Amino acid sequence: MSETSITANDWHMDTLAVRAGQQRSQFGEHSEALYLTSSFVFDSAAHAAARFSGEEEGMVYARFTNPTVSMLQERLAALEGAERCVATASGMAAILATAMALLKAGDHVVASRGIFGATQQLFGGNILGKFGIETSFVDATDIEAYRAAVRPSTRLFFIETPSNPLTEVIDIAAVAAVAHAAGAVLAVDNCFCTPVLQRPLELGADLVIHSATKYLDGQGRVLGGAVCGGNALVEEIFKYLRTAGPTLSPFNAWIILKGLETLRIRMEAQSASALKLAQWLEAQPAVARVFYPGLPSHPQHALAMRQQKSGGAIVSFAVKGEPNAREAAWRVIDSTRMLSITANLGDTKTTITHPASTTHSRITPEARAASGITEGLLRIAVGLEDLSDIQADLARGLYGA
């Protein structure tokens, strides 16, 4: 029996993160079991037929059913306050599965402009456009722009809040009202906050999407993704995953399950350090601007403090150095001795990247400019190192220290 079915409704988040969804075998293992099998055996031909038809619940084939993956799905659904969750091979697989399951040729999507570069590529014509699905990108924080973008064919609103990399904060409840008035579904990428800091379903979203590669794993070990929401919508996504196959491997699910056990502790510690780092950066003469929702100077600071439990662990900043802003930004990166130069985030190790030449390099210069991604912009994903060591590493590049 799943521990979730016993008392999960009464559990708090820390308990859910450790115990929700666990299913013990006949051996009574304490840690979640890792089921490495491609298929499952049945008692008879009739038993197999009942499983394949859905007449009887249970494991069928590892492309779409596996006990370890099921445990992760139950646990993450509990953390997000969702009826159901399906896990995917990556965060981008989660977004693609959502789009392919819910959209068809002739449908229209409204998306916030400040979204991850690969997500822009997916919606912006390179992938979904080939299937006759159009997307309108709007100013992330302009609610009237969402309303003005609605068409009779609009079926999906997609937002990422806080945005990558400028940490723009979008009013989820306001966008949900616009989406629902248009008869559309609102999907929210909750990668930066996780359910520890923000629960979009409670604010009116229909679906929550995760790149589990980031904070849910938390140690940069595996790829994974997930979609959480109501049974009806998630069932459509599950049907697509069952057939198309971009599902999560049991090993990756097991790793992410163990990562969830420390999610709240990590998020709170990394967010606390991020706030102090943002305050320090804002006081540096070599820094032109800092983007962090926890700072009073952030344009959506008040909204962030209502909608999130903290500012999160991502800090972006623009260095001074025009007209050679890229050179100045790269000098900061190349001068580091401790920070990891990588585009990944959500790790216990602090990472630094130059979005214009990495995560957002495949979108057009015009699209980058519209999203505010300048050549002098750097993104820091704050880890668990001592804050003074992070500051000293950045100071080398800012001041030649």
Indicate if 127 and 252 belong to the same structural domain: yes
Domain boundary among 225, 242, 260: 260
The total number of structural domains that make up the chain:
2
Mean pLDDT of 277-295: 97
Mean pLDDT of 158-182: 97
> Which pLDDT band holds residue 361 (cuts at 50, 70, 90)?
confident
Mean pLDDT of 342-369: 89
- The residues near 78 (Cβ < 8 Å, ≥ 6 apart) are 4, 8, 11, 16, 20, 21
Looking at every residue in the chain, the average pLDDT score rounds to 95
The 10s digit of each residue's pLDDT in 303-327 is 999 999 999 999 999 999 878 999 9
Indicate if 274 and 226 belong to the same structural domain: no
| Least confident residue range of 1-5, 115-119, 270-274, 275-279 | 1-5
Contact 218, 348 (CB under 8 A): yes
Tell me what pLDDT residue 8 has: 61
Indicate if 117 and 150 belong to the same structural domain: yes
Biggest alpha carbon–alpha carbon distance for the chain: 74
Indicate if 269 and 234 belong to the same structural domain: no
Indicate if 166 and 116 belong to the same structural domain: yes
Residue among 116, 167, 111 at smallest CA distance from 139: 111
**Does 5 have pLDDT greater than 50?**
no
Indicate if 322 and 238 belong to the same structural domain: no
For residue 190, what is the domain's CATH number?
3.40.640.10
Indicate if 62 and 79 belong to the same structural domain: yes
d(CA 49, CA 116): 43
Domain boundary among 260, 284, 300: 260
Q: What secondary structure letter does DSSP report for 83? A: S
Tell me what pLDDT residue 367 has: 79
For residue 332, what is the domain's CATH number?
3.90.1150.10
Residue with tokens 């609610």: 143
The 10s digit of each residue's pLDDT in 120-157 is 999 987 899 999 999 999 999 999 999 999 999 999 99
Q: What secondary structure letter does DSSP report for 2? A: B
Mean pLDDT of 12-33: 93
**Does 105 have pLDDT greater than 90?**
yes
Tell me what pLDDT residue 349 has: 98
Indicate if 169 and 290 belong to the same structural domain: no
Range(s) of the domain holding residue 352: 264-399
Mean pLDDT of 41-61: 96
Mean pLDDT of 385-393: 97
Tell me what pLDDT residue 6 has: 44
The 10s digit of each residue's pLDDT in 190-249 is 999 999 999 999 999 999 999 999 999 999 999 999 999 999 999 999 999 999 999 999
Q: What secondary structure letter does DSSP report for 202? A: G
Domain boundary among 223, 243, 260: 260
Indicate if 256 and 271 belong to the same structural domain: no
The 10s digit of each residue's pLDDT in 366-382 is 878 877 889 999 999 99
Indicate if 339 and 237 belong to the same structural domain: no
Tell me what pLDDT residue 187 has: 98
Indicate if 234 and 271 belong to the same structural domain: no
Indicate if 129 and 224 belong to the same structural domain: yes
